[in-house]
């Protein structure tokens, strides 16, 4: 294949890619086979030499927790000496963050070379009136990058759903479904069963699936699909148990809790988090593990990662306890209830559905104990804004409603204010609130009104957290 292309530098590569159809930025996201074609994805990969063929993969789907779980798996395998590719989405600041090897993002130079290589294939498909989307191209570039870098293992996070996702052309050694909750309901359906069906689309015949799903109809659907495909299921709470521990340094106490779907602990420099993980088929192996991203929900995510590592070990992969401990304890995932600074306590978070908002507030409620809680909130059209605001309005002291500008899907803050106003009229809120159109001004307002004893939390969207990250980090 010719490498001739109009891509000469990083700016040109970005311009070319960002000019593609990008459902992450579209006002509405279609989810039909005529829009999201796995055949088109396979065609693109074939034109690029089928870099995904024979690549060992851990494939991860879920309504929440899949990015953290992917990071845990990648960190553990890297620490054990396996060259590991990690593909996640969306990116926080730069697109090449989506393509990591042993924790390091693809360089600008590598990204330009990858784009140059792909341009002839993309243009050939354009000419056939079957233009690949932005996400399809980035996913293909990840496969090419990982093949060129000769990774031992690729950890792939699903972008949307699972069944029709561009990553679902892979050949996994093990799959993980982290959780099922109401998100992307316009695309995936408005019942937990229908959402579970789409996530279960990544289950492959005779390949073990690790499941963190506990709700009845969602769990039943995953188990039904797994039975049809002869895939063994290892389920959190049934085949393995995890107990989350948090200890505040200097307190002399420890609070163990059985992990569930909501989080209960924030990360801090003075707190120590860990988990106890037990497989029921190995009841004598009861090990305590460090947890770098504290919270009950993160303990559950880490347990899913450890279960996946157990499956890999059964397939002959070599892991040692010391390296696994190092990998788990050093995992980092920006924007996941991330404490950025103190006095006042500042949390940067990407929660964007009711379940994640509950996890965030559980963390704040049980561990932070601020004088006042100031929330800077902006979200995306199509999300369950009313449910998220109903939860926040009973837990925070002041709510600043705003919007991000880096994506046209932002929900207008005046519309959010109408939702809060309705909650107020029904006496379903305990907070004051205001609208500030600019998210930068919203952040400055929060900083100005917060004392050293208060908490400021930016949440509601990955895009809002990304847009404010530079200001929040100071």
Give yes or no: residues 153 and 283 share one domain: yes
407 and 463 Cβ atoms separated by less than 8 Å: yes
**380 DSSP 8-state letter:** B
**pTM score over 0.85:** yes
406 and 323, same structural domain?
no
- Specify the range with the lowest mean pLDDT, choosing from 206-215, 253-262, 362-371: 253-262
Structural domain span for residue 155: 10-240+274-330
Same domain, 428 and 318: no
Shared domain for 201 and 231, answered yes or no, is yes
CATH at residue 46: 3.40.1190.10
Q: Quick one: DSSP state of residue 219?
A: H
**Does some domain include residue 349?**
yes
Contact between 81 and 95 under an 8 Å Cβ cutoff? The reply is no
pLDDT tens-digit map of 430-464 = 899 999 999 999 999 999 999 999 999 999 999 99
Q: 204, 188, 168: which is closest to 38 by C-alpha?
A: 168
In the chain, % of residues over pLDDT 70: 88
> Exposed/middle/buried for 209, CB within 10 Å: 0-12, 13-18, 19+?
buried
Same domain, 297 and 373: no
Strands (E), 309-417: 338-341, 345-348, 373-377, 398-403
| Domain assignment present for 310 | yes
The number of folded domains in the chain is: 2
User: Do 97 and 221 lie in a common domain?
Assistant: yes
Strands 338-341 and 153-157, bridge-based pairing: unpaired
Q: Looking at the structure, do residues 296 and 166 belong to the same domain, yes or no? A: yes
CATH number of the domain encompassing residue 418: 3.90.190.20
Helix (H, G, I), strand (E, B) or coil at 362: helix
Looking at the fold, whether 357 and 326 belong to one and the same domain comes out as: no
The answer to whether residues 454 and 393 belong to one domain is yes
Asked if the structure places residue 318 within a domain, the reply is yes
- Identify the pLDDT of residue 280: 77
In angstroms, the CA 15 to CA 447 distance is: 35
Radius of gyration for the chain, computed over Cα atoms and rounded to the nearest angstrom: 22
pLDDT digits (tens, 9 = 90+) for 124-154: 999 998 899 999 999 999 999 999 999 999 9
Burial zone of 246 (CB within 10 Å; 0-12 exposed, 13-18 middle, 19+ buried): buried
Whether 3 is in a domain gets the answer no
- Is residue 251 assigned to a domain? no
Q: Give the residue among 87, 77, 66 at the shortest CA–CA distance from 169.
A: 87
Where a domain ends, among 282, 303, 330?
330
Paired tokens of 464:
């809002």
**325 and 365 assigned to the same domain:** no
401, 448: one domain:
yes
The answer, yes or no, to whether residue 250 has pLDDT greater than 50, is no
**295, 330, 365: which is the final residue of a domain?**
330
**Which of 265, 296, 330 is the last residue before a domain boundary?**
330
Q: Are residues 225 and 88 in the same domain?
A: yes
In a domain, 283, yes or no: yes
The verdict on residue 260 lying in a domain is no
- Model confidence over 202-244: pLDDT tens digits? 999 999 999 999 889 999 999 999 999 999 999 999 999 999 8
Mean of the per-residue pLDDT values of the chain: 89
Domain presence at residue 184: yes
């Amino acid at each position: 294949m010719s490498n001739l292309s109009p891509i000469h530098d990083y700016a040109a590569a970005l311009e070319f890619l960002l000019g593609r159809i990008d459902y992450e930025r579209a006002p509405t996201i279609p989810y039909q086979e005529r829009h999201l074609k796995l055949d088109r994805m396979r065609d693109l990969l074939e034109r690029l030499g089928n870099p995904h063929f024979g690549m060992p993969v851990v494939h991860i789907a879920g309504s929440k927790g899949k990015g953290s779980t992917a990071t845990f798996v990648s960190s553990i395998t890297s620490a054990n000496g396996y060259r590991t590719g990690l593909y996640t989405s969306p990116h926080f600041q730069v697109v090449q963050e989506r393509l990591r090897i042993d924790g390091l993002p693809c360089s600008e130079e590598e990204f330009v070379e990858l784009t140059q290589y792909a341009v002839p294939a993309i243009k050939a498909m354009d000419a056939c009136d079957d233009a690949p989307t932005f996400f399809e191209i980035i996913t293909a570039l990840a496969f090419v990058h990982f093949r060129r870098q000769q990774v031992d293992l690729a950890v792939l996070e699903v972008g949307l759903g699972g069944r029709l996702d561009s990553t679902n052309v892979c050949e996994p050694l093990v799959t993980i479904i982290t959780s099922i909750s109401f998100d992307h309901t316009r695309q995936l359906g408005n019942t937990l069963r229908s959402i579970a069906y789409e996530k279960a689309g990544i289950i492959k015949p005779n390949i073990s699936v690790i499941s963190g799903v506990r709700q009845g109809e969602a769990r039943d659907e995953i188990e039904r699909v797994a039975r049809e495909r002869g895939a063994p299921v290892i389920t959190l709470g049934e085949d393995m148990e995890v107990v989350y521990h948090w200890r505040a340094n200097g307190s002399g106490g420890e609070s163990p809790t059985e992990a569930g779907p909501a989080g209960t602990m924030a990360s801090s420099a003075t707190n120590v988090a860990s988990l106890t993980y037990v497989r029921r088929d190995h009841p004598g192996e009861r090990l305590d593990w460090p947890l770098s991203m504290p919270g009950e929900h993160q303990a559950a995510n880490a347990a899913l990662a450890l279960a996946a590592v157990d499956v890999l070990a059964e397939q002959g992969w070599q892991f040692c306890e010391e390296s696994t401990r190092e990998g788990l304890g050093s995992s980092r995932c920006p924007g996941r209830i991330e404490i950025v600074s103190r006095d006042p306590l500042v949390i940067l978070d990407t929660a964007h559905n009711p379940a994640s908002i509950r996890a965030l507030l559980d963390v704040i409620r049980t561990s932070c104990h601020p004088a006042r809680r100031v929330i800077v909130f902006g979200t995306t059209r199509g999300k369950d804004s009313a449910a998220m605001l109903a939860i926040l309005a009973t837990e925070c002291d002041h709510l600043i409603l705003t919007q991000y500008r880096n994506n046209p899907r932002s929900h207008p803050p005046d519309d959010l204010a109408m939702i809060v106003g309705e909650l107020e009229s029904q006496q379903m809120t305990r907070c004051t609130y205001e609208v500030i159109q600019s998210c930068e001004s919203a952040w400055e307002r929060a900083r100005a009104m917060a004392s050293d004893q208060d908490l400021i939390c930016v949440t509601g969207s990955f895009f809002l957290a990304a847009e404010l990250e530079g200001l929040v980090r100071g």
